[in-house]
Structure 1
Amino acid sequence: MEPANSIIKAFGGTKAVSDLTGVHSSQVWKWTQPKERGGTDGLIPMKRSVVLLREAKRLNIEITPNDFFPDDEAEEELKAAAQ
């Protein structure tokens, strides 16, 4: 699920993000899963987003704070699924 999938991919995958954030790779994987499957609906927790933004700057990975939020279309899908 987006935006987590794109961000994780930009860093080189689940293991790389796990190493950078200090969380187990299974937690990183949950960011890509829907809530009904124990995930976060593609949202990365704020505490980890801050770390990833800092690391993106250090590693010259082009990610901005806006990349951590779903686009309008994805947001509408989330709202519809919640109803």
Structure 2
Amino acid sequence: MTPASVIVQRFGGATAVARIVGVHRTRIYTWLRSGRVPQAHQLKLLTEAQRRGLPLTAEELIGAKPQPEKAVA
């Protein structure tokens, strides 16, 4: 899943996400096409997820993949 699709799924749809960040819902569909969530909205979404008790990490929001731990020689 892309970061944008994770956000839309967790918050219950494009309209809900649009209300949270204060943009028209068509902007959220643009995010879904690109797969990305603009940096300008990331903190707002993380804060709102925490307030609502929704599971959301910064890594999911930016699309980072966990890196395996490297063994120390």
**TM-score normalised over the length of structure 2:** 0.81
Sequence identity of aligned pairs in percent?
32
CA distance in 2, matches of 1:14, 1:8: 6
2:17 partner letter: V
Q: Which runs of 4+ in 1 moved over 2 A?
A: 69-72
**1:66 Cα deviation from its structure 2 partner:** 0.3
Partner residue in 2 for 1:66 = 59
Task: Give the paired residue count.
Answer: 65
Mind listing any 5+ residue stretches in structure 1 that lack a counterpart?
A: 34-40, 73-83
Mind listing any 5+ residue stretches in structure 2 that lack a counterpart?
A: 66-73
CA distance in 2, matches of 1:70, 1:58: 21
**TM-score normalised over the length of structure 1:** 0.72
Query: What's the Cα RMSD here?
Result: 1.4
Query: Aligned ranges for residues 26-65 of structure 1 at < 5 Å?
Result: 26-33=26-33, 41-65=34-58
